[in-house]
Structure 1
Amino acid sequence: MIRWINIFKGFLMGICELIPGVSSGTMALLLGIYDEFIGAVSKIVTKSYKKAILFLLPLLIGMGIAILTLTSLIEYLLEHHMIPTHWFFIGLVLGVVPMMLRISNYRVEFKAPHYILVLVAVALLFSIGMIRGNEVPPETLVVTVPLLLQMFFSGILASMTMLLPGISGSLVLLILGSYSIVIYSINQLKAFNLEILPVLIAVGLGIVLGLLLASRVIQYMLRNHTYLTYALILGLVVGSVFAIYPGLPETSLSWLVTMVAAFLGFTISWFMGTRNKETI
């Protein structure tokens, strides 16, 4: 049976994938469907594919609705209200930390290697946050074979990271210099410019392949190296703050709006985490 309520959950996951630095895996974790989501993706090419499709279909519909309807809004917020928007998502990310600490039972299970892995993951995300790819101005975009190959491999890497709470596919696209191309292509498709369709097809094929590969790796790690995986995820969640960090406000009004946005994001995330009893 299809759970149509998952359309709303997919919608929230889709919003996250539009924001560089915020992972749809984090949202799936908050919504209590992370384990089912990873399992369903990994089973899509097995004998259990029908059950997997029934679970994933409403999520995909919801994500598609979010991407098609909110791309322009996200572009506007990032362009005109970038600092409070990013601080809202920083709050959202930090609100996941208490839940991750509870799930990982860190006081009992974490040893020195686990804490080292947390620090390594934080350092990795800090370094990634300092990197930005050289993006082609979308308005001058010309569809070529090298561009399509770039978008295909960008889709693979982005989707492999989007399954991990803490690092988003959008951030990887930004680092690879592909983010603005994808956003521009989506907006052009909405304007019925079909010349840009090959770009989105290339990204889409890469995303599908990346999801199939990553889901199996993550499931293996959770089964065989559970608490090391928890430590990695915790480090990625904390470290993603550096990737999102937009700087500090400059005016008193901006400070007020930014603090309210950050507090609101943290409160929403923390509240959702307290209601989620899932252990991934």
Structure 2
Amino acid sequence: DHPILVWSFFFGLVLASTWFVSKDIRKWDWKTVLSYIVGIAVAFYITVATPAETPSNLFFIFLCGAIAICAMILPGISGSFILVLLGKYFYIMEAVKTFNIPVMLVFICGAAIGITSFSRVLSFALRRFHDITISVLAGFMLGSLNKVWPWKETIETYTDSHGIVKPLVEANIMPNELVWEAVGLMILGYAIVYFLEKLSMKTAK
């Protein structure tokens, strides 16, 4: 009911989180800068990509589960949004609604294998290539700000299972309403993350 205000709050949260994650980069050089830019570009592309028409065979459903769950442990990228881009969000939701056991089991297996495999890869990358990995993750977060920009214009809609029309494709526009309220909530979101980060640092000491 209040999308501009909610997105504004999240914008502040993500912006502050990006700053604190970036502070974990020990040394800035051409590798970390390039990794940061790549992370921004990939996340930005994901937020503006158009949902694709894709097959519905079980092998592809398995891949969708593996890819979507990996996105869930990366900052700035939504697993459900990845499913939308893969053209399988509504397909999976319909499978859950109709209790389509084969599709659900294949998707769950893909998610289980994806999360166990990718978490190991991410852990290895953080140990061996700490600064580059953090740079990419921070870039993901900064690039994702395009998705949580509060002011949007709906370009394409869809009707959910309850008959409610919802936005599917949106475009960002310049601030046109509730500007001061939105700015205030952005600051509040930033301040909450800042406070929690300082509190955790004090506790750690």
Same fold by TM-score greater than 0.5 = yes
Query: In 1, distance between residues paired with 2:123 and 2:198?
Result: 24
**CA deviation map 1:73-115 (0-9, x unaligned):** xxxxxxx44443333322221120232133223xxx1112211
**CA deviation map 1:115-169 (0-9, x unaligned):** 1211121112222222021479xxxxxxxx9354433211111112222223232
Alignment partner of 2:103 out of 186, 189, 199? 199
Alignment partner of 2:116 out of 185, 190, 212? 212
Structure 2: any 5+ residue segments left out of the alignment?
A: 153-171
Query: In 2, distance between residues paired with 1:201 and 1:242?
Result: 34
Residues 1:224 and 2:128 are matched in the alignment: yes
Query: In 2, distance between residues paired with 1:85 and 1:215?
Result: 30
**TM-score calculated relative to the size of structure 1:** 0.56
Instruction: Give the Å deviation of 1:211.
Output: 0.5
Secondary structure (helix, strand or coil) at the match of 2:142 reads helix
Give the number of aligned pairs.
182
- Higher fraction of strand: 2
Query: In 1, distance between residues paired with 2:137 and 2:126?
Result: 11
Secondary structure (helix, strand or coil) at the match of 1:104 reads coil
Secondary structure (helix, strand or coil) at the match of 1:96 reads helix
Task: Give the structure 1 partner of residue 71 of structure 2.
Answer: 161
Task: Give the structure 2 partner of residue 98 of structure 1.
Answer: 19
Structure 1: any 5+ residue segments left out of the alignment?
A: 1-79, 137-144
Alignment partner of 1:275 out of 184, 195, 199? 199
8 Å Cα contact 1:122-1:240 kept in structure 2: yes
8 Å Cα contact 1:128-1:243 kept in structure 2: no
State how 1:95-244 maps to structure 2 within 5 Å: 95-105=16-26, 109-134=27-52, 146-183=56-93, 185-186=95-96, 188=97, 193-194=98-99, 196-244=100-148
Instruction: Give the Å deviation of 1:256.
Output: 4.3
Secondary structure (helix, strand or coil) at the match of 1:165 reads coil
Structure 1 residues 173 and 263: CA distance shift in structure 2, 3 A: farther
Aligned-residue identity in percent: 25
- Higher fraction of helix: 1
**TM-score calculated relative to the size of structure 2:** 0.73
**CA deviation map 1:38-59 (0-9, x unaligned):** xxxxxxxxxxxxxxxxxxxxxx
Taking only aligned residues, the RMSD between alpha carbons, in angstroms, comes to 3.0
Residues 1:255 and 2:165 are matched in the alignment: no
Structure 1 residues 103 and 131: CA distance shift in structure 2, 3 A: same
